[in-house]
Structure 1
Amino acid sequence: MKFKNKIVHIILILFCLLFILPLLMIFSGSFENQSQLTENLEPVFKSVNSESKARWYVIPMYPTLKSYVEILFDSPEFFIMFWNSCKLVFPILLGQLIVNTPAAWGFARYDFKWKNTLFTLYIVLMLMPFQSTMVSNYIVLNYLKLLNTRSGIIFPAIFSTLSVFIMYRFFKGIPKTVIEAARMDGAGEFQIFVTIGIPMGAPGIASAMVLGFLEYWSMIEQPLAFLEDKTLWPLSLYTPDITPELTGVYLVSSVIILIPTLLIFLTGQKYLEKGIQASGLKE
């Protein structure tokens, strides 16, 4: 049995290394000298004989910070797009806290007509890809004159059904006896929500916020579809033309874009795991 466990652990470690390898390549490549990158990737960008192969070194042969200097000090558009991302992501998360938290509480703690039907509709909307609703969203946003504005990205995202679904599972797990005891003590519904629901459902709320950040920090389709003005584009669309001369800049931008996502993931990992576990539970 122990031998089988060791084999399983070895296989899992190999898979982990396989998934981590692209990140290591991006990180190491961001420190590589541009001329060396061009030479290593020449078969990718140019028509050469079939025997030539691209090369990549996990440890840079000629490490340099030149590409970082170019991005951080000589590329003002990079920081403009960084703040554009902040102006989109944080209002979305704040709006989800204000709107979706009480919505999830209502689904979890109250019985009303068409509740199951409405909640099923929420789940269906959650499973639908963006492409399925892009045209209808475009028409509505155009009618409201919100196209080519940040609000056209923020308002639809605020009403994301995924965060409602995750928080619903946590609120549903609060014992009924606790709610009934609070009512017997004279607590109102809003007071119960604030003093009992939010504290006991905090892991679910945090999990929804972590997932929301991971999703909206890297969103691409919505800004491309609804934002024509490139000065409003978020950092996820900062992709300079991948040419041999800009390979280092592209790798550095990828690393910097990844850092906030990685920090948020590591900070909220335990809440994210609880959220995934809760979303898989049946009623």
Structure 2
Amino acid sequence: MKTKCKGIIPAIAVLMVAALPVWWAIWFMIAGALIPLDELKATIGPVLGIEESGGYAYWPVLPSYPTLRPAVELLLDTPQFFTMFWNTCKLVFPQVLGQFLVGAPAAWAFSRLRFRGRTAMFAIYTILMLMPFQVMMVPSYLVADTLGLMDSIWAVILPGVFSTFPVFIMAKGFDAVPFAVLEAASLDGAGPLQTFVRIGVPLGVPGILSALVLGFLEAWNAIEQPMTFLKTRSNWPLSLFLPQIVSDKVGLAMASSLVMLAPTVLIFLFGQKYLELGIQASGLKE
């Protein structure tokens, strides 16, 4: 037991050091949301280009006199923040729902059905998954413009719904469903749709939820897609609101970043178990 403890302690220390940059970034936002504007100008003024500040920039570990003014200003005096928060919800949740309704049946077909061209089609899915948005931006723009969807939320939602990445993750999760269970269901008279709904979905929950969690995180933090397809400012999500905050509103930017970070942290904490189960299931072989 002592030998195991001696081996665990160095591993924990290494992980804590590796996680320090992440925790520092989070603490940077928390402290920035509590530091008053005059102290921010004195500490990071040179980075922001504020003329009255001079010397070197530094960041205090703790604010000299904490204030909630940035949070109050955000929640009471910034109505456009709530508008863009609602816009973000309108863009993200339909995407996640659509990824389940479209991606789960497609993933089941790739994983458990055998048909001509299956391997080639899945290879095309994998290639499309590896392509960044910059490569697919022009075709997506042309399609959205042809369909008359430009400057509407559907120009962002529909490409996200038909994304190939959730299909790939869900298919790997469905691969862990034993064929023996499917054969037993077939002998009991269950059709393909019944087998998918009553067996595939319940047993594929880890892969489905892991794909939906990753899809939520990607859609919530998306910048390039809304910037490309949404021209009207009233349709912008939070990811486009934060860069518009000017340098003399650093505290407001920090408070906005914390509020925007909160849903992603909660979703990740909720889905962390399913992410781990999905990774484990994708590595299992029947």
| Same fold by TM-score greater than 0.5 | yes
Q: Give the aligned partner of residue 26 of structure 1.
A: 29
The one of 113, 116, 136 equivalent to 2:116 is 113
The one of 253, 260, 269 equivalent to 1:250 is 253
Consecutive unaligned residues in structure 1, runs of 5 or more: none
Q: Give the aligned partner of residue 206 of structure 1.
A: 209
Once residues 150 and 284 of structure 2 are traced to their aligned partners in structure 1, the CA distance between those partners, rounded to angstroms, is: 39
Q: Give the aligned partner of residue 190 of structure 2.
A: 187
1:101-157: CA deviation from partner (whole Å, max 9, x where unpaired): 111011111111110000011011111000001011111111111111111111111
Q: How does 1:1-283 map to 2 (within 5 A)?
A: 5-46=8-49, 52-241=55-244, 243-278=246-281
CA positional deviation for 1:242: 5.3
SS at match of 1:53: coil
CA positional deviation for 1:273: 2.1
Residue 128 to residue 195, structure 1, CA distance change in 2 (3 Å)? same
Once residues 206 and 13 of structure 1 are traced to their aligned partners in structure 2, the CA distance between those partners, rounded to angstroms, is: 28
CA contact (8 A) 1:96 1:159 kept: yes
What TM-score do the two structures reach when normalised by structure 1? Answer: 0.94
Question: Between the two proteins, what is the percent identity of the paired residues?
Answer: 48
Which amino acid letter does the alignment assign opposite residue 139 of structure 1?
Answer: L
SS at match of 1:268: helix
What TM-score do the two structures reach when normalised by structure 2? Answer: 0.93
SS at match of 2:190: coil
Q: How many residues align?
A: 281
Residue 217 to residue 132, structure 1, CA distance change in 2 (3 Å)? same
Consecutive unaligned residues in structure 2, runs of 5 or more: none
CA positional deviation for 1:166: 0.8
1:38-61: CA deviation from partner (whole Å, max 9, x where unpaired): 11112212388xx92212122221
CA contact (8 A) 1:42 1:244 kept: no
Residue 244 to residue 238, structure 1, CA distance change in 2 (3 Å)? closer
Over the residues paired in the alignment, what is the CA RMSD in angstroms? 1.9
Which amino acid letter does the alignment assign opposite residue 14 of structure 1?
Answer: V
Residue 242 to residue 144, structure 1, CA distance change in 2 (3 Å)? closer
Once residues 282 and 194 of structure 1 are traced to their aligned partners in structure 2, the CA distance between those partners, rounded to angstroms, is: 22
SS at match of 1:239: helix
CA positional deviation for 1:237: 0.9
